[in-house]
Structure 1
Amino acid sequence: MIKQSIYIGTPSYLKIKQNQLVVQCPKTNEIKGTVPIEDMALLMLDHFQITISNQLITRLQGNNVVIINCDAHHLPFGVMLPLYGHTEHSERVKYQLEASEPLKKQLWKQTVEQKIKNQQSLLAYYKKPYKHMDVYWQSVKSGDTTNCEGKAAQYYWKHLFENFTRERFGSEPNNLLNFGYAVLRSIIARALVSSGLLPVLGIFHRNKYNPYCLADDIMEPYRPFVDKMVYNYIAANGKTEELTKEVKAYLLNIATQDVVINGVTRPLLVAVTTTTASLYKCYFGELRQLKYPVLN
């Protein structure tokens, strides 16, 4: 069964009853809806007048549901995950901590190569100039010491959208991209925890202020799937400066987008667990190649 992403954007009281999330109106006590907790993967809270019971939080964490709360600008601000999500947590963290620098550099090389390949596939899908991207992914060295990722990104953004500069606080569609990436980051962090790994210990990212360095590493080849959703939305509706509830609901569907991984089509939410499981096996020494999705 495909896990659900739930968005709450109005004043609500959230509680648990018979192992279900219950959404209740705080003024009328009317039940707005219920969702079985076992069917949930992500819960986004996007209103300052939402109250959630501690019992519900505990049950959600016990089922490895990621809880995202949004700020005054309605952008994802915080992520709540369980401390561990695998029975062999300490054993797996041991191998993660002992991973050598050469191994991490090779894993980052694989990550950058697949990210660029997926970006190239997206350009080709929309009949944009794409052949020059071969130069970038074929030139990636261990640890990407020549920054092929950055060079490819400049080419990619120049040709994917017209008159566009990718900036965190730039003009639209940066707002849609930021929101989609934040959701994707949360999904990746959830999968890392379920695989018994620490999201804070990256293979490339090492910012001391970033608690999700590994999630930021592993999400890179998945970013073009968000880009595809944003491109399709703009093609159908035009650019928008406002992140409406409809836009957010659309981008939350990233979790159920079909991707091809290991030769099989899977929802993205399932595919990321394949990736994070393969990462642990690389740490353990069972695999030498990360399993990443291919964008067709």
Structure 2
Amino acid sequence: MNTDNRYPVTASMFMLREITHRQEQVKRGYQLLRRKAEALRIRGRQAAAELASTQAILGHTLREAYISLAAIKFTNGETNALVLENIGQAQIRVQRISENISGVATVSLQAVEDSTVGDVFRYAGLGAGGHRTGEAKKAFKEAIHILVKFASLRNTCILLDEALRTTFRKINGIEKVIMPKLRNTEVYILMEMDEREREDFHRLKMVKAKKIQNQAIAKLRPEPRGGDSGDSSVSNGPSSSRIRSLDCLTSILYPCTAPIANSTESEGDVKPTCYSHHWDDDDLLF
């Protein structure tokens, strides 16, 4: 398996449990990110729809306000100097309201009228055109409220769009990089553990076979007997037959690959002498 597409870990039960636990955490985080992206998408669509409707209303309101301002100029003449001389405190203030949309901090703007500040233009148009002046003031106040709402919605749409892009980038990273690496790492650990189990099973089989062979050879070995020299000729028959049986078993269990050392001729037959191979149990533990 390619090591570039998995984490460099050792194949053990501890690492298998660790990778499994990490996969569960990644899946939980992936599901939470998907829910967050869905909530941000729904809220972004609502904000975009409100922004489009507010933009249409804003254009109509500004057009009506500037028409009323042109009517005042036609009735009362130029009033810019009067307005600039009587500038005081603002009657409409902007209030910041913090919102949390699925973990994304946004700021909502709201226009609030300050009742403590007096209207410096309450007597404007008293001589002529007072009705048109009141209508212009009302139109521009409404335009300011809509402008603040438009700015708030536009800021919310920008923040939600950026947060949605970041969330989808994280989702794609988890789905395309992290989760495949974790799956490949788990498969690698399982394969290595299965291979080790097969090797251990084969090693145990070889050791058991070696022990059985050693026990069979030990049973065929001649047993030492004490006695006089006169009885040695009687006991040579069975012991020689046991030795020949032992040589025969050795030649079957350990086939000879060494060259023939010497030969003995008996009634015209040539019998090669084969050196037995001496293997230990440790040689099979590979």
TM-score, normalization: structure 2?
0.20
- Structure number with greater Rg is 2
TM-score by length of 1: 0.19
